[in-house]
Amino acid sequence: MNSFRVTPWEVEGSVDYEKLIKEFGTQPLTEDLKKKFVDLAGEDHVLLRRNVFFSHRDLDKVLDDCFSSKGFFLYTGRGPSGRMHIGHIIPFVFTKWLQDVFGVNVYIEITDDEKYVYKRDAKWNQIQEYAYDNILDIVAVGFNPDKTFIFKDSEYIKHLYPLALKVSKHINFSLAKAVFGFNNITNIGLIFYPSLQIVPTFFEKKRCLIPAAIDQDPYWRIQRDIAERFGYYKAAAIHSIFLPPLTGLRDKMSSSKPETAIFLNEDYETIKRKVMKYAFSGGQPTVEMHRKLGGNPDVDVSYQWLYMFFEEDDKKLEELREKYKKGDLLTGELKQYLIDKIWEFLEEHQKNKDKARRKVEKFMYDGKLSKRMWDLEFEDVFSE
Ligand code: TYM
């Protein structure tokens, strides 16, 4: 039997996403809903078309709120435990697209606190370095500075803490254990942390839509239990599957296993070496056999990466699939195709990241609250 486990901190085993929808109690993103969404957006996105985003909570209600001009806002985040890899950037690319097509505010939480308490050997200074580097990667995605607020928990805490306190008071340990798998050796920093990931869903008195991989959903489940008691909306979410590790279709990419991922700061030679060496192939062991029997794109990681993100052109993708299946396209050729696509994306990203250094203040809390799309004072939180 295939067993797997998905929590916000760990993914083990080969994930069965249909089962996960049932286990987490989310809804499948149906073709019908997708069509409504795309119609409203006025354009399609490769991550929707290829079912990378496959599940949701209350996305239909977000659409209703758009129709009735109530509007909504977007929220997503990053835990700075290391350099970002290609998987991490996916929700940000999608969030940026949503911001462009719907013209809405985006809040991005950088959870230095979470990573500090979660990782036993974490060094605070190291996490701060990663946080800055990750923020540059996020800014490089191209968000609208007038409608985007990036905040780091340890810096913005004064403004998060009142609501976090209130949230924490509504979550008992038994629920937190059931939802997050905490146990007697979990440190109490991590036990409190979920309140801080829930707070930004209350930044505006509108529905909050959260694009992220499905591992983050447990937070939203709790948020949805308590939100209405606070006079806020239940959070809506749109969930993606994980971009699989280079080494095979199981698990999740991991920063601690560099061979599983391509990092956003890697150069062409490194990408080439990693893909050629590690990308799990659905091809045959010899060229002769491959020409004769053909490859299997469904288990081939290079094909899957092209399918999920890197080849937007449907016709080209279909052509690659057919040629690979027939054995006309060899594994090395498919890998080279992917390498060029990854580099096309990363070369551009790295240029934008260089420029991001000069732009970053426009997105962040400056300690004086002059960046103030939202600001809730203690009195407001406790007055209700
Ligand atoms: P973190 O830093 O683990 O992950 C950042 C974002 O990347 C998604 N993700 C992936 N997506 C596709 N393929 C993958 N292989 C892959 N690996 C990770 C994650 O789901 C996440 O969206 N606790 C959070 C930080 C956070 C947050 C949020 C995330 C705070 N508030 C609101 C999403 C929404 C974290 O450590 O994410």
Residue 321 lies in a domain: yes
Q: How confident is the model at residue 255 (pLDDT cuts 50, 70, 90)?
A: confident
Domain holding 314, by residue range, is 258-356
Give the H/E segment covering residue 12: strand 11-12
- Pick from 119, 110, 73: nearest CA to 95: 73
Assess if residue 175 is contained within a domain.
yes
Instruction: Select from 198, 224, 246 the last residue of a domain.
Output: 246
Ligand 1 contact via 240 beta carbon (within 6 Å): yes
Q: Are residues 229 and 298 in the same domain?
A: no
Would the CB of 242 count as within 6 Å of ligand 1?
yes
- Residue 317, number of CB atoms within 10 A of its CB: 18
Task: Give the distance (Å) from ligand 1 centre to CA of residue 79.
Answer: 7
Instruction: Please indicate, yes or no, whether residues 225 and 173 belong to a single structural domain of this protein.
Output: yes
Residues 45 and 173 in one domain: yes
Per-residue pLDDT tens digits for 272-326: 999 999 999 999 999 999 999 999 999 999 999 999 999 999 999 999 999 999 9
Residues 239 and 264 in one domain: no
Stretch among 135-139, 327-331, 364-368 having the lowest mean pLDDT: 364-368
Please give the biggest Cα pair distance in the chain: 75
Cα 351 from Cα 349, distance rounded (Å): 5
**Ligand 1 contact via 253 beta carbon (within 6 Å):** yes
On whether both 161 and 285 belong to a single domain, the answer is no
Q: Of all atoms in ligand 1, which is nearest to the CA of residue 134?
A: 2
* Any atom of ligand 1 within 6 Å of the Cβ of 109: yes
The tokens for 166 are 């209130």
- What phi, psi does 188 have (nearest 5°)? -75, -15
Same domain, 312 and 287: yes
Whether 152 is in the pocket of ligand 1, judged by its Cβ within 6 Å, is no
CA–CA separation, 116 vs 220, rounded Å? 22
Asked whether residue 31 falls in the same domain as residue 104, the answer is yes
Residue 177: give its domain's CATH number: 3.40.50.620
113 lines ligand 1 (CB under 6 A): no
Q: pTM (2 decimals)?
A: 0.96
Give a yes or no: residue 101 inside a domain: yes
Note whether residue 160 is domain-resident.
yes
Structure tokens at 88: 């991490």
CATH number at residue 305: 1.10.240.10
Q: Is 90 exceeded by the pLDDT of residue 368?
A: no
The per-residue pLDDT for 200 is 95
Report the pLDDT value the prediction gives residue 367, as an integer from 0 to 100: 60
Flag whether 109 is in a domain: yes
How many structural domains does the chain have? 2
Residues 154, 187 within the same domain:
yes
Tell whether 220 and 267 lie within a shared domain. no
Q: How far is the CA of 196 from the centre of ligand 1 (A)?
A: 15
The residue whose CA is least distant from atom 32 of ligand 1 is 76
For the stretch 20-76, pLDDT in tens is 999 999 999 999 999 999 999 999 999 999 999 999 999 999 999 998 989 999 999
CA angle 85, 90, 91 (to 5 degrees): 120
> What's the gap in Å between 379 CA and the centre of ligand 1?
32
371: in domain: no
Listed in sequence order, the residues at least 6 apart from 377 whose beta carbon sits closer than 8 Å to its beta carbon are: 162
Residues 59 and 116 placed together within one structural domain of the fold: yes
382 alpha carbon – ligand 1 mean position (Å): 30
Q: Report if residue 375 sits inside a domain.
A: no
Question: Whole-angstrom Cα distance, residue 106 to residue 150?
Answer: 8
Q: Is the pLDDT of residue 17 over 50?
A: yes
211 lines ligand 1 (CB under 6 A): no
Confidence at residue 371, expressed as pLDDT on a 0 to 100 scale: 47
**Token representation of residue 171:** 């979550």
Beta strand residue intervals within 153-289, DSSP E: 207-213, 236-240
Task: Give the pair of three-digit tokens for residue 254.
Answer: 């991991």
Residues 262, 284, single domain; the answer is yes
288 and 235 in a single domain? The answer is no
* Residue at which a domain ends, from 202, 219, 246: 246
Q: According to the model, what pLDDT value does residue 11 have? A: 85
Residues 114 and 305: their CA atoms lie apart, in Å, by: 29
Domain boundary among 246, 273, 291: 246
CB-ligand 1 contact for 218 (6 Å cutoff): no
Ligand 1 proximity of 197 Cβ (cutoff 6 Å)? yes
- Taking the centre of ligand 1 as the mean of its atom positions, its distance from the CA of residue 50, in whole angstroms, is 20
Confirm whether 195 is domain-assigned.
Answer: yes
Mutate to test the pocket of ligand 1, among 9, 15, 73, 78 (most ligand atoms within 8 A of CB): 78
